[in-house]
Structure formats: C-alpha cells, structure tokens
Structure 1
Amino acid sequence: MKKYSVITISEGAAGMKSQIEGLASLISDHYINIDLKINFFLKNLPVQLIPSKSFIINNINDFKIIKPTVLISCGKKSVKASIALKNKFKNIFNIHIQDPKTSYNKFDLIVAPKHDNLNFYNTISTDFALHNIKFNTNKNKNNKTINFIIGGKTKNFQFSKITQEKIYQDIKNLSKKHFVQIIPSRRTPKSLIKKIKSNKINNSNLYENSNNPQEYGNFISTSAANIVTWESISMISECVSSGVGTFIYSFEKGSIPSKYKLFHKDLINKGYIKNFNYNIKPFKVSIGNELQHLKNKILNKIEQSPIFNV
C-alpha cells in the first residue's frame, strides 16, 4: 500500500466542501482542506479562459507539498488551480469531482455522476453525489417522523409561488398522519419559510440548521422516511445514503433537464428512491457495496499511478 498525503481544495462553498470531504474520508483517515483564493481578476472568467498557472492562486504559499499527495478538487474555479498545483509540485495525483468541462487529460482521475456521461480513460462514474454527512446508525428509527427536505431556485427551476404553495399544502396534508420535520436549505425561498413560520402547521417542526452535518445526518437517518424536492441531486444522494427510504417530490416538470431524468430513473429502477405520494410506506436501502466498490476503484487507480513509484 503506497503512502501519501491527501489535500482537498475548493472555493469554500458548502456543497463543494461536502463532496471533496466525502471522497477524502472514503479513501483516507486523515486529510487537510485548503480553501482556494483565486486571483480576483480571473475568478469570474469562464474556466476555459483561466490559465493553468500558479499565479492564479493568491494563497499559493499555503501549499507545502513535499511528499506524494492526492489532491481532490471540486468546482469550476478549482479546475485550473488543481492543474497548476500539479504542474508546480509534480508529485501530485489529482482527482476532480464532477465534469471539469475542460482539460480532461490534465487529471489523473475524474469522479463524476453517471448522468454526466463522461467516458474517458481516467473517469469513474457514480450513481450518487458524494458528501460528508455522518449518519446515526445506533439510534432507533422514529417511525412517526417524516422529513420534508426543501431545496429552492436553480437555473432550471424557478420555485415559483405556485410551487411554494403546493409544498406548504402537501406538508399540511402529511401532518394529519405523520409528524413532519420541515428542513429547508440555503436555497429555499425566504417567502416559503416565512409562510411556514407565520401559519404554523400542527404536528410539525421547522428545522433551520441544515448546515450542521451531524445533526442533519441524525435527522435523515432516524426518521421513518425522507421526502426531498427533486431538483437537488446532492440532497437526494444524502437521503439515499442514510439508509432510510427516499421519496422525490416533483414540481415544475416542464423544466427538468434530461440528466435529472436519467438520475431519477436510474435510482428508481435500482429501488433506491420512489416518487412521492400521500400513502407513504417506509422502506430501507443500502449503498454500502457501491461505496466500497467506488473506494476500491479509486485506490486501485492511485496504486497503479507511476507518480508514487519513486
């Protein structure tokens, strides 16, 4: 087994950090995270126009890479930063999470969702988005609680007032049979949260601290079921990983991109998720074998790399 350090880099966004930390913890017991500080004049350029040079990284001195290192990146700004660091230090095995959109051959490994349809010699496809959520496997399941996890506006979904009202009414109807833990995200419209607060739904609770991975993990792994809005591949992945049955909540169906359709269809066919309906019947899933298979694939790539044969 080769010995190496693991460093993760990102632009600081919570979703990106969750993915790089999820992969880092899958392949190593210890890793260091460094938040990238990209040159102000370059960071808003399209990734294809950003040079792969170390001067694009304002905090380049934070990187002290002496021994063989696995460098894990996620996010468009970190694409060229990863390549720049590899060019500078040489003894780096660089892994990028998601489609980098450019310079595919400059990465030792790209780990991307299956629906991105990347078929290069250096890519590994995953069914789910990686994450850093830790789950409570010891606590008894709460067979009376259902989590309703709400996303928000994206470039494909408007999350309109009609959508918000439908979500509110559906939570209200669910609360007649179940205790509903309402979990908004950073993207959830403030108007919907305000409505939930102002028009209290009996037999429910509004939890607004989903930035706490441990507490959030406890909620989604100890409930009877998780309902999650279907525009968030990461939230769906987190819920499926918890082992608790996941129901995807559809809305604005005319706006859904084809890659989301493929993602949903694949997970439904594998029995990992179901479409939402009022007659919730809890079920369990396990993706332990898939994670172990992914881990083995990544470690094999690292072991075979000539970078560390020095």
Structure 2
Amino acid sequence: MSEQAVEIWAVADTRRGVENQAIGLAEALSRVLGGKVHRAVIRDDGYVTLPDADNPAIWIGCGRPAIAVARQHRKSYPDARFVYVQDPRGHYGQFDAIVAPQHDRLSKPNSLSMIGSPNRLTPERLAAEKARFDDRIAQLPGPRAAVLIGGPNKRLKMSPAVTAAIAQRCQWVLEQGHSLMVSTSRRTPLPLRQLLAGLEENERCWVYDGEGENPYFSFLAAADRIFVTEDSTNMLTEAAFTGKPVYSLPLDGNPGKFRLLHAALEAKGILRPFLGRLDDWTYVPLDETTRIATLLARQFSRIE
C-alpha cells in the first residue's frame, strides 16, 4: 500500500455486534498498515452517513445492509479494496476479500477463515477500560467472575429452566467467595434480567443492564474467570482474548454449526462447560483479529 496513512472505512449499520466487527478489523488493519479508520454509518432508513474523508484505500463492511452499499461504493471508489466480514451469501465476487467465521465453512478463492469474529480488543484497551472503572471495581473483592449474558436466537432459547439455572449458578459462584460482574444484552429476556438485577442486593455483585457507561470491557479485564452464554460468537471470542478461564453456559436447543466454534475454542484449551466446580487453567490468548489483519495487509501489498 502507499507509504501515506491508509484511509480505512468501517461500514456497518448501528447494531453493536455488527458494528464492532467492522470497526475491530479496521482498527487492527490500521495498526498493521499505519492507517486511519473512518466510520460510515448505515442508518435504519438505508441512508449512509459518509465520513469526512475521500477515496478509501480499504473498505470493510459487515452485516447484510453493507452488501448493497458495497455495490454502490464500488462505482464511487474503484481503486479501493473491498472486504466483507461474515458470509455475503452469494455475493462473493463483489469483494476482494471475505473474512468468514470458521464455523460457516466457507471455501472461496477470496475467503479467509477465522475462529469466531473480529473484535476491538487490545491489551492497551483492556487496561484503559479497567482504569475507567477502577473505583467501582475496587469495591468488589477478588476473586472476581464476569458473567456475560446474551439471549435467544433462531436455534437457542432461554426457557424458564435455563433462566433459573443461570441465576442459580450466579448465586453459587457468589457463595464460593467470588464477586460477580454481570453484563446483560438487548437480547436478554426480561425475566432473566430481573433475576440478575436482584443479585445486586449482595455488595459483591455489580449488574450492568444497559444504563449509563458500559463497563463490559472492564469486566473482561478485571475478571479472574469468565462465564459466557453459548449463543454469542462475539462474547465468546472476546472472552478468549483475555487468556482467562472461560466457561460456557448452555441454552435450550441445537447450536447447529456453532458447535464447531465451541469445539474450536475447546480444542485450544480456552472453553470448558461449567460442571459445578471452579478450575484454573491457562492458554494462549486468542487474537484472530490481528492474524487476519496481517494476512489482509500482505494480500493487498502484493496487489499494489
């Protein structure tokens, strides 16, 4: 690529999980290439708010709405390299590179496979996020466990039995002497959010329900071990970045292809099912985002 700072666009709608994948890969690529990241927002009405920057060298999109935008931007920015995160479902020739989860089993000449999904984590960011909330975290004596709760999807459901089991396991971890840092998502059903909110009656529990500043990354940084519901590729991948023990919390249903993700994390010694005991183990932190960014940088350098 050019010796000048590379202009990299991250193009996605406003869904947090989708947005973070595009921005995360863009930021990683900027660290490798010495570039500058700009955000192009696809609004709910389909209008695209462009950044105050011309002629991107690299265009990175994520989410279905980004596919149509890529088609338009190909005409406006013919010299840009276009990257899509996830499986574009038939629009394979529209992109110079496709970054797909390994569990999608996509095999195309222009595809790169990764475990999980891109994220925005770096050691520096985790340290900075922990520092932002140090005063509040200091009120939670160690050891600390982070509990990351997603929600139902097409394959997995949060039945009343699952809801009760998650709440009971949180209470059990508290009883083992751990402090709890609990983060729910927009997809978390109300009955479970209400049960988890009740845990804050214990002074060793902090439950984040979406109000105020988000301490999610500081929870990852401050935790000694992490519990994650099995539905979320993003949260599992982010937990795996920390190098800390990660336990999966099961939901009802058949995970389907996501069993491949769970198996890949288990094979690397990252993920274990929670069997009613607290173990300690170590593994090489998972940083697939940097690995993929490095591969893309090499690929695009060969094109120049």
Whether the TM-score (by the shorter chain) exceeds 0.5 is yes
Q: Residue in 2 aligned with 1:49?
A: none
Q: Could you tell me whether the CA contact under 8 Å between 1:175 and 1:201 is conserved in 2? A: no
- How many residues are paired up? 285
One-letter code aligned to 1:21: I
For 1:250 and 1:92, the matched residues in 2 are separated by 42
1:81 is aligned to 2:72: no
Q: Residue in 2 aligned with 1:15?
A: 17
1:1-310 to 2 correspondences below 5 Å: 1-2=1-2, 3=4, 4-28=6-30, 29-37=35-43, 40=45, 58-59=47-48, 62=50, 66-67=54-55, 69-133=57-121, 134-136=125-127, 143-177=142-176, 178-198=178-198, 202=202, 203-209=204-210, 215-252=215-252, 254-257=253-256, 259-287=257-285, 290-305=288-303, 309=304
Q: Could you tell me whether the CA contact under 8 Å between 2:11 and 2:41 is conserved in 1? A: yes
Identity across aligned pairs (percent)? 21
One-letter code aligned to 1:227: F
The alpha carbon displacement at 1:219 in A equals: 1.2
One-letter code aligned to 2:15: A
Q: Residue in 2 aligned with 1:51?
A: none
For 1:211 and 1:246, the matched residues in 2 are separated by 26
The alpha carbon displacement at 1:75 in A equals: 0.4
CA 1:128–1:287 in structure 2 vs 1: closer, same or farther (change >3 Å)? farther
Q: Could you tell me whether the CA contact under 8 Å between 1:147 and 1:180 is conserved in 2? A: yes
Q: Residue in 2 aligned with 1:50?
A: none
The alpha carbon displacement at 1:173 in A equals: 1.5
For 1:210 and 1:17, the matched residues in 2 are separated by 20
Deviation track 1:258-283 (CA, whole Å, cap 9, x = no partner) reads: x1111101110111211112211233
Deviation track 1:178-198 (CA, whole Å, cap 9, x = no partner) reads: 222222112111221122334
Q: Could you tell me whether the CA contact under 8 Å between 1:65 and 1:89 is conserved in 2? A: no
SS in 1 for 2:224: strand
Deviation track 1:53-80 (CA, whole Å, cap 9, x = no partner) reads: xxxx6447x3677545200100011112
Q: Could you tell me whether the CA contact under 8 Å between 1:185 and 1:210 is conserved in 2? A: no
Q: Could you tell me whether the CA contact under 8 Å between 1:228 and 1:246 is conserved in 2? A: yes
Q: Could you tell me whether the CA contact under 8 Å between 2:184 and 2:208 is conserved in 1? A: yes
Deviation track 1:162-190 (CA, whole Å, cap 9, x = no partner) reads: 21111111111121112222221121112
One-letter code aligned to 1:30: K
Identify unmatched segments of 5+ residues in structure 2: none
CA 1:169–1:13 in structure 2 vs 1: closer, same or farther (change >3 Å)? same
Q: Could you tell me whether the CA contact under 8 Å between 2:56 and 2:77 is conserved in 1? A: no
Structure 2 length-normalised TM: 0.84
For 1:63 and 1:199, the matched residues in 2 are separated by 43
Q: Could you tell me whether the CA contact under 8 Å between 1:22 and 1:132 is conserved in 2? A: yes
Q: Could you tell me whether the CA contact under 8 Å between 1:183 and 1:207 is conserved in 2? A: yes
Deviation track 1:66-113 (CA, whole Å, cap 9, x = no partner) reads: 545200100011112112201232111110000011210110000011
One-letter code aligned to 2:72: A
Q: Which deviates further from its counterpart, 200-209 or 81-90?
A: 200-209
RMSD between aligned residues: 2.6
